[in-house]
Chains A and B, each alone.
Chain A
Amino acid sequence: MLDPKTQNVAFERLLADFKRPLYSHIRNIVLNHDDADDVLQNTFAKVYQNLKNFKGDSKLFSWMYRIATNESITFINAKAKRNGQTSEAFQQKQVENLRADDYFDGDAVHLKLQKAIVELPEKQQLVFKMKYFQEMKYEEISEILGTSVGGLKASYFHAVKKIEDFMKRD
């Protein structure tokens, strides 16, 4: 992929194949469409910059998802800091804002589920979103997050229990 022309063709193909799944992954983390758009651009910029250095030591799929995950978390932390908030408080606010979001058409159950998720620790949030919404396999999540399958199953189990408890509450 050293030849710039070949690299651009390869990149265009990656863009076509991964823009939708990566957008969903990012949107699930940052919640807001405009933020997801920003992060998706940053993600593909990083992918483009590092494509020539990609040595195939991990799968392209997990490499791109790893970049997207890191970019999303960095984005949230930076934006929270700019607003003088903790990341948790910032995300709570983002969930509150969903009700008025033009690009959110969920009902009360959708909204309550988002509220339940945002209460979870960061790792459990990620695992839950990737497993429940994106229906990824534990092995895939393991490659992206660098956590053992056993650890992921435990995280998902705890996340589901807490979400179910939250959903039962008023």
Chain B
Amino acid sequence: MIMNDFNLDKEPKIGTGFKTPKGYFDDFQLKIMQHLPVQEPKVIPLFARRSTWMLSAVAVLVLALMIPVYTIFYKTNEEIDAVSMENYLAYQSNISQYDLINLLDSEDIQSLDVDLALEDNTIEDILTTNNNLENYIYESE
């Protein structure tokens, strides 16, 4: 078949030529609706639901009980630490004033100066009452 002057827009519309069996669409609708999954409400066993609730309640209760225990424990711990630290420093015989002097460098002393903001007469008092002063001067030389 030769169509020398074929122009799709000028030609009468050409259809697809497709047919469907008689009653196909009605049958199709029925077939699909019959095959829809029946959606029943989900059955949740009472026991399973109760156990979940009970577990949650127990978990909350345990957490609630833990809070004061934790707070007390935490606080006590901190106090003990501070006291033992003081005791350690005060009664530890291994740490002498010489050790402390050796650990401090000039920067530390400067920062101590700033932090403590000592007044002149306080320094004078310390210098006059401290017996080891001469030793310190001797050590620093």
Which residues does A use to contact B, with CB under 8 Å? Answer: 4, 7-8, 11-12, 15-16, 19-20, 23-24, 27-28, 31, 33, 37, 40-41, 44, 48, 98, 102-114, 132-133, 160, 163-164, 167-170
Contact = CB atoms under 8 A, between A and B. Distances in A.
B29 A40 contact: no
A48 B36 contact: yes
Interface in B110-133: none
A112 B17 CA distance: 11
Given A168-B2, A169-B2, 18 more contacts: A19-B25, A23-B25, A27-B18, A37-B24, A41-B28, A98-B17, A105-B19, A106-B17, A106-B18, A107-B17, A108-B1, A110-B15, A110-B16, A111-B17, A113-B14, A132-B8, A133-B16, A170-B2
B48 interface: no
B3 interface: yes
A48 B9 CA distance: 39
Contacts of B33: 12, 15
6 contacts: A28-B16, A33-B18, A33-B20, A41-B31, A102-B19, A133-B15
A33 B5 CA distance: 33
B23 to A, nearest CB: 13
A15 B8 contact: no
B29 A103 contact: no
A168 B32 contact: no
B17 A104 contact: yes
| Size band of the interface chain B makes with A | 20 to 34
Contacts of B16: 24, 27-28, 106, 110, 114, 133
A109 B1 contact: yes
B4 interface: yes
B6 interface: yes
Interface string B38-81: 01000000000000000000000000000000000000000000
A40 B28 contact: yes
B2 A37 contact: no
Given A33-B20, A33-B21, A167-B3, A106 B28 contact: no
A44 to B, nearest CB: 5
B2 A110 contact: no
Nearest to B6: A167
A164 B6 contact: yes
B140 interface: no
A160 B17 contact: no
Contact of B36 (A8, A109, A114, A169): A8
Q: In the A-B complex, list the 5 residue pairs whose CB atoms are closest, starting with the nearest.
A: A106-B17, A4-B39, A110-B17, A167-B6, A103-B19
